[in-house]
């Protein structure tokens, strides 16, 4: 079978979400690394794949180009419903999971994205403080919304879409040296997420450029 092709960047949290989902759904995939830091995402060939110039882009075996990680994950879930599901059964739980995913997707990640940081400052300290502020603010809300219903993962004991957003965001938080000690629930989910083989196979360390 012809594999999926994922255009991604090793440390992009949005890329990790999709790598992880592809692992969970056990789909064959060929990875194409696009270097964010070299502005490869701004090149015409990448803009042709994704007019927003962001990563990831998932190319299907039949040549469709899918962009935006949240709808990509929803699409994978709809297209491959058997096996492990990323969404719970009932609509209240599904709402809860989608709300948590959206909180990260639109309330945290875009505000600490590279393109935004580049408009703010090239001073590493200012970039760090900015990112810490918005990740902390989002994590306070995430922790409060998910605490009472969390278990090993954001909703109970089963991994969901929400965790696929949270864990890569925690990775960014650690890079920006955010103190996680006031987020015990998030820290627990981070550790449990990292303990799953699919998450590890999708982990940035596995995709770091050599040399
Ligand atoms: N909403 C988009 C966001 C994509 C996004 O911001 N990707 C980042 C990496 S996590 C990126 O490509 N940043 C570089 C850029 O915007 O040039 C998604 O979820 O796919």
- Render pLDDT for 165-189 as a digit per residue (tens, 0 to 9): 999 999 999 999 999 999 999 999 9
Rounded to the nearest angstrom, the distance between the alpha carbon of 195 and the centre of ligand 1 is 26
Q: Residue 58 in 3-state DSSP?
A: strand
Say yes or no: CB of residue 53 within 6 Å of ligand 1: yes
> Per the structure block, which two tokens stand in for 71?
């709808």
Best of 35, 109, 111 to mutate for ligand 1, by most ligand atoms within 8 A of CB? 109
Nearest CA to ligand 1 atom 2: 68
Rounded to the nearest 5 percent, the helix, strand and coil shares of the chain are: 60, 10, 35
Atom of ligand 1 nearest to the CA of 41: 17
Mutate to test the pocket of ligand 1, among 7, 10, 14, 18 (most ligand atoms within 8 A of CB): 14
Mean pLDDT of 117-144: 98
Q: Is the beta carbon of 55 within 6 A of some atom in ligand 1?
A: yes
Ligand 1 close to Cβ of residue 23 (< 6 A): no
| Model confidence pLDDT, tens digit, residues 87-99 | 999 999 999 999 9
The pLDDT tens digits for 109-125 are 999 999 999 999 999 99
Start-to-end C-alpha separation, the chain: 32
Q: pLDDT per residue over 18-55, tens digit each?
A: 999 999 999 999 999 999 988 899 999 999 999 999 99
pLDDT number for residue 210: 83
Q: pTM of the predicted model, to two decimals? A: 0.97
Cis peptide before 202 (omega within 30 of 0): no
């Amino acid at each position: 079978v012809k594999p999926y092709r994922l255009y991604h960047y090793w440390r992009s949290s949005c890329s990790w979400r999709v790598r992880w989902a592809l692992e969970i759904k056990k789909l064959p995939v060929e990875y194409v690394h696009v270097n964010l830091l070299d502005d490869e995402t701004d090149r015409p060939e990448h803009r042709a794949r994704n007019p927003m110039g962001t990563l990831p882009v998932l190319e299907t075996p039949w040549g469709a180009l899918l962009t935006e990680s949240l709808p990509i994950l929803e699409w994978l879930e709809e297209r491959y419903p058997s096996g492990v599901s990323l969404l719970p059964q009932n609509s209240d739980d599904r709402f809860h999971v989608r709300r948590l995913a959206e909180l990260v997707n639109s309330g945290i990640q875009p505000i600490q994205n590279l393109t935004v940081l580049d408009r703010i400052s090239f001073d590493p300290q200012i970039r760090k403080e900015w990112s810490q502020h918005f990740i902390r603010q989002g994590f306070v809300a995430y922790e409060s919304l998910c605490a009472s219903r969390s278990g090993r993962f954001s909703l109970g004991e089963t991994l969901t879409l929400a965790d696929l957003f949270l864990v890569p965001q925690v990775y960014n938080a650690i890079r920006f040296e955010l103190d996680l000690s006031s987020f015990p629930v998030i820290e627990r989910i981070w550790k449990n997420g990292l303990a799953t083989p699919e998450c590890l196979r999708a982990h940035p360390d596995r995709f770091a450029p050599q040399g």
